Amino acid sequence: MTSKLDTVDRDWLYEKLGFVPTERQAEIIDESRKYRRIQIVGGERGGKSLTAEKILIDHYPQDVFKANQPRSGEPYHDDWRTVLYWFVGEDYDAVTDEFEYAAADFQALLGGPPEFSASKKVNAPGIIEYTIKGEPRPRLRIEVKSATHPEKIRRGSPFGILGCEASLIDLSTAERMRGRLAPEQAWEVISGTFEKRINQWFKRQAKAWQAPGRDRRSFTLPSPSNTYVYPGGIDDPEIVALKADSSDEFFLERIMGEEVPPMGTVFSEFTPDIHVREVNYIEGVPVHLWEDPGFGSHSAHSVLLVQVVDSQVRIFGEIYEQGLIQSDIVEMVRTSKYWKDVRYLVSDPYYMDAHHSQESVSDVWKREVKMTAMGFRTKVEERIERIKSFLKVDALSGEPRIIISPSAHGFLSEVGMEVSPITGLDQSYRYTVSKDGELIGKTPIDEYNHSIDALGNGLMQTFGYSTKARENKTKTWNHLRRDKHPVAKAHARIRKGKVLVNR
């Protein structure tokens, strides 16, 4: 059973819906057909939610056709296959606009009750379904999902996903959404405004997706472009008044949808689209523990769980705790499923032998699990340079030298992608910045860098100095090896694959 909608073009759709896009909306919708993943950064009342929902409507006829083509190896069948879409928000309230737009549009396109029904409550999981009598399953199903229930974002195979007010969604949820695109080769549209409470991955991704040549693209939808609300565009009296009465940062971000880079960011090279992905623990591959012990009520204790595969550093997990003693941290590692593969331990050389209690950090590791902690002292600038060298993308493989699991919330908060998992505040590793935006000094503020220090020390111990840092040193890594320095001996054992644990 078919309908005109199966083969209809966009003009018929918009005429049926009574939708006349603004000039900027039309540009974004036209361009969206070229890309599988779209990000829309909108100013307030710029129409980002409506634009995202209309891209869904634009995709629907193609998704209907795709849903009912025989899959590879399957015989042709007459059973109608349901087209499934997801609307994902920080909570159910965040999807209200897109949900109501879709309910109205599909009711206009596909018919009214009783075949069509939509939940009227968006503070609970909402569902839109369209069913033709006599058919075994619905033709359309839209499910509302909340980031507060992340387990529900791992199930199902949608044909498309709308991320609603996506700047408020945490990076872990965004990665789960991305992971569900593969089964149906689905499309994704995420939209949002640059908010004060924003998770910074949304900003970094918007900038990264401006680069051409891949299957994703970011667009800005400034408030003045919505001529239905602001008939005069950028010269509309309301826009002129907003610009006069607000700060430059507020006007650029909240009205024009333009990024104002955070001042003092240490790792501006870190991009979630490149460096963050699902990283699974691989049984049988040696596990490195890279630790930064935390002392005091405002400090975090970090342990990065690392495997090196084909010269790529893969952080598959993280311990990021506050208020635990060293024995608690050791016990968390010892009772984990990856303990049998743990081979190397690198701890902060400034703290591992310091006695903040009756025993030092290294003493506890030795006594409880017979592990020897490694680590040698380096300058902050050298560790930063080493991390930056691993954030680069290999020109031949197209892969970065390091990838991080979205579950490493402590690390992601320190590079400015998320709020702190401990305080819920924006606490990223930064340089001191003057009121004019100029960097003060060459060394970042020594706080909010626990996982970053663990990574820097681990990379230095395992791979040595970066080329740039080596050029600036009087004693090079090779010199240390010739001198038979104890640090160089430990490094040589790692390179030879010798186990530094005695169980």
* Count of other CB atoms within 10 angstroms of residue 44: 14
pLDDT at 134 over 80: no
189 with 162: CB under 8 angstroms? yes
- The residue from 230, 261, 292 where one domain ends is 261
Provide the domain count of the chain. 2
Same domain, yes or no: 283 and 249? no
Do 478 and 444 lie in one domain? The reply is yes
Give strand pairing partners of 86.
143, 161
Task: Please state, as a whole number, how many other Cβ atoms lie within 10 Å of the Cβ of residue 325.
Answer: 13
pLDDT for residue 363 is more than 60: yes
More confident residue, 190 or 135: 190
Chain Cα centroid distance, residue 405:
9
State the average pLDDT for the chain: 81
Higher per-residue confidence, 398 vs 402: 402
CATH number of the structural domain spanning residue 476: 3.30.420.280
User: Are 434 and 465 contained in the same domain?
Assistant: yes
Give 413-447 pLDDT, tens digit per residue. 899 888 788 887 778 898 888 776 677 878 899 88
Q: Say if pTM beats, i.e. exceeds, 0.85.
A: no
Check whether 114 has a pLDDT greater than 80: no
Extract the runs of DSSP E, i.e. beta strands, from 74-136: 83-89, 116-118, 127-130
Q: What is the pLDDT of residue 4?
A: 47
Q: Which of 248-262, 442-456, 481-495 has the lowest mean pLDDT?
A: 481-495
266 is a domain residue: no
Reading phi first (left if > 0) and then psi (alpha if -120 to 50, else beta), residue 159 is in: alpha
The better pLDDT of the pair 248, 321 is held by 321
pLDDT of 346 > 70? The answer is yes
Structural domain boundaries, residue 33? 4-261
Are 437 and 363 in a shared domain?
A: yes
Q: Which of 301, 221, 207 is nearest to 254 (CA)?
A: 221
Tell me the mean pLDDT in the region 311-329. 93
The CATH number of residue 128's host domain is 3.40.50.300
Contacts 24+ apart (CB under 8 A), 485-489: 487/374, 487/376, 487/461
Q: 133-137, 175-179, 372-376: which has the minimum mean pLDDT? A: 133-137
